[in-house]
Structure 1
Amino acid sequence: MNIEEFRAESHRMADRIADYFELVSSYPVKSQVQPGEILDALPQQPPAVSESMDSIMADFERIIMPGITHWQSPSFFAYFPANSSYPSVLAEMLTSALAQQGMIWETSPAATELEDRVMEWLKQIFGLPETWTGVIQDTASASTLAALLTARERATDWNVNDNGFAPEPGLRIYCSLETHSSIEKAAKIAGYGKNNLIKVAVKEDGSMDAGALEKAIGDDLHAGLKPVCVVGTLGTTGTTANDPLEEIGAICQKFNLWFHVDAAYGGTALMLPEMRHLTAGLKFADSYVFNPHKWMFTNFDCSAYFVRDTEALTRTFSILPEYLRTATRGQVKDYRDWGVALGRRFRALKLWFVIRSFGVEGLREKVRKHLDLARWLSETIENTEGFELLAPVNYSLVCFRYRPEAIADEEKLNQINQQLLQKVNQTGRLYITHTKIAGKYTLRLVIAQTYVERHHVEAAWSLIRKTASRLSI
């Protein structure tokens, strides 16, 4: 492909992308293909000679598109969102074209300094502590790993980095039973071992029991173990419960523990002044993460990670081979020292585009709409015979189930709701997922897609009710 062919194809591709955004609601939200169907349609051998873009795009439509689950559909209500938006996509085009490798300042001064600035903007938008410093990681999982590694090194006076774990007693991490699975993965990768991750009991609302946390720490100290870090959550994955950050933070200060706060989804809501009360306990936090790629309309991947002590972070990750020594070392931020990866994409560009294109008030308007829609749906469910809410609606996630009056057996209710979920998703008209709350099979419907409107939520609720009424129970 030469430059003129590229110019023509790029214009065609832009039209295809715009067409996709216009037509996304017409596709089945959840892919309807069977396991292996895409693989079987792909040639076993790579092409020996060049193929035309027409041929490639024809196969894209024929083979690939049927296997796409449309996360950008306004009828996508599953998991948490991985949102896109028009300005974010435009920025991604530029990011791909520029193909920056922003590992150090000298490899891309603009990537480094724009990241520095937009992270300062985020502190202002979300009312985060002035003493924090931010860096963009790829995901919350990577951010949590960075937190646990830094906590490990601070607790051992940077001994594990040099000598490994051998002389250290059991290093303990604490989180709630509802904390995201990435915490356990990070504990394993960072060498703590999953058996040293203590999952603390939760209260009825799904939030961590601070009293149980303090007891667990005390028990470990008595046993000769070494408490290191506590992970609190704003907006748990299952139900969006909020841990009592002020109580947890005070406990961390008492025992000199690293306090990491995971707000991967819920953190976006803190841009609203009326939600700012949730930041009260953040004054105790040593590190904090939220994902603009979830609910801030910025393409995956883009995770905002903040730390109080940047020296602890960079001391944990810094390594300086000769080929990376530069004359600007010490004068600038070399973000390769701020996380696991050496190579870094120009993620700040799409965040900059989104903030400038929407404006802070435009972002807030979107998030408020989602919260309002969730409140409307929760009130509707409460007033609909045969359905019940199963968790408080703290953000824009609604947890509920179908409960026919004639059925009291919990296992039967679980089976009915699993059947309801499967039948609704099989229609292709919407996509929802589930969790279990106190053993109850719970339907999760999260309203946070960039371009979702009231009529999409109404249509989803109508389909759920109609499908439930037709179940054979």
Structure 2
Amino acid sequence: MSPEEFRRIGKVVVDWIADYRAGIESFPVRSQVRPGEVRAKLPEHPPERGEDFEQVLRDLDEVLLPGVTHWQHPGFFAYFPANSSGPSVLGDLLSSGLGVQGMVWATSPACTELETVVLDWLVELLGLPEHFRTDAVGGGVIQDSASSAVLVACLAALQRTGEEVARRGITRRHVLYASAHTHSSLERAARLSGVGADNVRVVDTDPDTLAMDPRHLDELISADVEAGAVPTMVCATIGTTSTTAIDPVPEVGEVCRRHGVWLHVDAAYAGVAAVCPELRWINDGVAEHADSYCTNPHKWLLTNFDCSALWLADRAPMIEALSVLPEYLRDEATESGEVIDYRDWQVPLGRRFRALKLWSVVRWFGAEGLREHIRHTVALAQEFAGWVRRDPDFELLEPHPFSLVCFRPRYPDLPVEEANERTHRVMDALNDSGDLHLTHTKVDGRTLLRLAIGSPATERRHVEQAWARIRQAV
């Protein structure tokens, strides 16, 4: 493809994206295809000769688009938001156009240094502690997801126990701690790191707030020490995936400090809310206790996937755990110790120029625009919660401090399991309608519907329409 062909076709592609985003409400939110339906429409064998890109776009419209669930649709209320925005898409395009592989500073200094600056900007925007800055003992790095972030934190925590795990392997029984509402990525980190899923302790939660119980955590750690195990890492969550429950980081952190255990704070969804000063209380205890902290701009901060920010209070254990320096990667800058080589801050060696899209978003919207987005979606969620609270046919789960609302229809005359089945049928009918997309969770054996607001395209009318459809379905 010559530069002239790229220019011509690229304009067509940008127009396609712009038209798609402008007309996204015309699509059913959730894909309506059956398993195997998309594959059946695709050729069994690759083409022998190259094809025009116009044909690629035709197949995108006719074959692939029916199999797309539209995450940027204003009626998409499922999971957590995976926001995208024009500046972010363009930043990603620039990253692809440059084709940088930023594994070490020398392979593209701008790739590394822009990332350090943008993550230091986020420290300021979110009110995080100064020692998370990259020009301090800690520092930040963009991971692909919070799952990778917790794995890196786990490897660093293992290394800090003094077991020399990176060199000798795990020689003693190490233990990780989480609540039943902690994201499943913590168990995966245990599996991948060699700790093992059986060595993940489940900490009790408060029955009202669903937050981790620090007293039970203390008891579990003490019992493991007595048994000769090595308590290695606690994962506290600010905004759990299930219900956005918030673990008491100050109290959990005190337990970790007494026992010398690494504290990882997973704020994947909710952490970006701290861009608003009135929501910065969610950072309580982070400065004093967090050894690592993660939040995902690709969820709620208008930056398309993948872009997960991980900070370390002290980066040394992480680098000790992950750094391998073969001869072919040696260079003068690395040997000088004056630069950051992000290959030592992640599991893969290679890395994309992800900072460009986050940089584009922060520069386009500014702090003011980012705050406006968070405040707008929180306000819509709180208004929706008010409608649920006032309707006698529904039950609302409290609290709901962000833009997720959990609720369920009331079926007082039905056994729990039958009520759960009926709630599932309601959700399936709503999702099949194409007007909106919800997901569910379970709390104390009860099935709850989750409505998560986050798309910049979602307006009050979309939330009103969703509530009307939900009431009709029940």
Provide the TM-score with structure 1 as the length reference.
0.97
Report runs of 4+ in structure 1 exceeding 3 Å deviation: none
Q: Distance in 1 between matches of 2:201 and 2:282?
A: 25
- AA aligned to 1:82 is A
Kindly indicate whether the alpha-carbon contact (under 8 Å) linking 1:80 and 1:446 is maintained by their aligned counterparts in 2.
yes
Task: Check if 1:377 corresponds to 2:380.
Answer: no
170, 174, 180: which one pairs with 1:171?
Answer: 174
Alignment map for 1:403-422 (pairs within 5 Å): 403-404=410-411, 407-422=413-428
Secondary structure of the residue aligned to 1:93 is helix
1:45 matched to which residue of 2? 45
| Alpha-carbon contact 1:387-1:400 (below 8 Å) kept | yes
How far does residue 22 in structure 1 lie from its aligned partner after superposition?
0.3
2:155 aligns to what?
149
Q: Report what 1:194 is aligned to.
A: 197
The equivalent of 1:332 in structure 2 is 339
Contact 1:232 1:259 in 2 (8 A): yes
Q: Which amino acid aligns with 2:181?
A: E
| Structure 2 counterpart of 1:459, from 461, 465, 470 | 465
Following superposition, the deviation at residue 385 of structure 1 comes to: 2.2
Say if 1:74 and 1:456, in contact at 8 Å, map to a contact too.
Answer: yes
Matched, 1:357 2:360: no
SS where residue 436 of structure 1 aligns?
strand
**1:323 alignment counterpart:** 328
From 294, 300, 304, give the equivalent of 2:309. Answer: 304
Tell me which residue corresponds to 2:19: 19
Cα pair 1:391 1:400 within 8 Å, conserved: no
Partner of 1:222: 226
The AA in structure 2 aligned to 1:280 is D
Aligned to 1:172, what secondary structure does the other structure show? strand
1:435 to 441, 449, 463: 441
- For 2:16 and 2:81, the matched residues in 1 are separated by 23
Supply the distance in 2 between the matched residues of 1:279 and 1:161 (Cα, whole angstroms): 31
Please tell me whether the aligned partners of residues 291 and 302 of structure 1 are also in contact (alpha carbons under 8 angstroms).
yes
How far apart, in 2, do the equivalents of 1:101 and 1:5 lie? 25
SS of 1:344's partner is coil
- 1:297-338 CA distance string (max 9 Å, x none): 001000100001111111111111011111111111111111
Cα distance in 1, alignment partners of residues 74 and 108 from structure 2: 36
Structure 2 residue aligned with 1:450: 456
**8 Å contact kept, 1:239–1:391:** no
- The residue number in structure 1 matching 2:119 is 119
Kept after mapping to 2: 8 A contact 1:227/1:257: yes
Could you say which residue in structure 2 is the equivalent of 1:268? 272
Return the match for 2:166 from 156, 161, 164: 161
Answer whether contact 1:180 1:236 (CA < 8 A) is retained: yes
Preserved CA contact (<8 Å) 1:31 1:66: yes
Q: Does the 8 A contact of 2:166 with 2:322 survive in 1?
A: no
Residue 156 of structure 1 deviates from its aligned partner by 3.1
The percent of aligned pairs where both chains have the same amino acid is: 47
Instruction: State whether residues 173 and 227 of structure 1, in contact with CA within 8 Å, keep that contact through their aligned partners in structure 2.
Output: yes
CA contact (8 A) 2:159 2:318 kept: no
Which one-letter code corresponds to 1:15 in the other structure? D
8 Å contact from structure 1 (residues 390, 437) kept in 2: no
The offset of 1:363, in angstroms, is 0.4
What's the secondary structure of 1:328's corresponding residue? Answer: helix
* Secondary structure of the corresponding residue to residue 177 of structure 2: strand
Partner SS, residue 349 of structure 1: helix
Cα deviation digits, residues 145-165 of structure 1 (max 9, x gap):
0000000111134x2211122
Q: What SS is found at the alignment partner of 1:460?
A: helix
Structure 2 CA distance, aligned partners of 1:441 and 1:6? 50
In the aligned structure 1, how far is the partner of 2:6 from the partner of 2:283? 48
Report the Cα distance in structure 1 between the residues aligned to 2:115 and 2:456, rounded to whole angstroms.
23
How far, CA to CA, are the matches of 2:409 and 2:17 in structure 1?
38
Hey, what's the Cα distance between the residues in 1 that align with 2:417 and 2:165? Answer: 48
Instruction: Give the Cα separation in 1 of the matches to 2:206 and 2:416.
Output: 21
Q: Select the residue among 231, 236, 245 that pairs with 1:232.
A: 236
Partner of 1:253: 257
**Contact residue 126 and residue 275 of structure 2 kept, 8 A:** yes
Q: Distance in 2 between matches of 1:391 and 1:445?
A: 14
- For the pair 1:294 / 2:292, whether they are aligned, the reply is no
Q: CA deviation at 1:391?
A: 3.6
One-letter amino acid of the counterpart of residue 257, structure 1? V
**CA deviation string 1:334-354 (max 9, x = no partner):** 111111111011010111110
Equivalent position of 1:62 in the other structure = 62
TM-superposition CA deviations, 1:164-211 (whole Å, max 9, x none): 22xx22100101110000000011000000000111111111110111
Q: Is the 8 A contact 1:210 1:247 kept in 2?
A: yes
Structure 2, unmatched stretches of 5+, are 133-138
Matches of 1:49 and 1:391 in 2, distance apart? Answer: 59
* Greater Cα shift, 396-405 or 211-220: 396-405
8 Å CA contact 2:84, 2:304 repeated in 1: yes
The Cα shift of 1:29 comes to 0.6
Structure 1: gaps (5+ residues): 469-473
State the partner residue of 1:181.
Answer: 184
- Report the number of matched residues: 464
Q: Distance in 1 between matches of 2:97 and 2:285?
A: 42
Report the more deviating stretch, 52-61 or 124-133: 52-61
For 1:471, the equivalent position in structure 2 comes to none
Equivalent residue letter for 1:22:
A
**Alpha-carbon distance in structure 1 between the residues aligned to 2:91 and 2:254:** 42
Match of 1:280 in 2: 284
Give the CA RMSD over aligned residues. Answer: 0.9
Once residues 210 and 276 of structure 2 are traced to their aligned partners in structure 1, the CA distance between those partners, rounded to angstroms, is 23
Partners of 2:6 and 2:315 lie apart in 1 by 43
Q: What is the letter of the counterpart of residue 453 of structure 1?
A: E
SS of match in other structure, 1:445: strand
- Residue type of the alignment partner of 2:256: C
Deviation at 1:408, TM superposition (A): 3.8
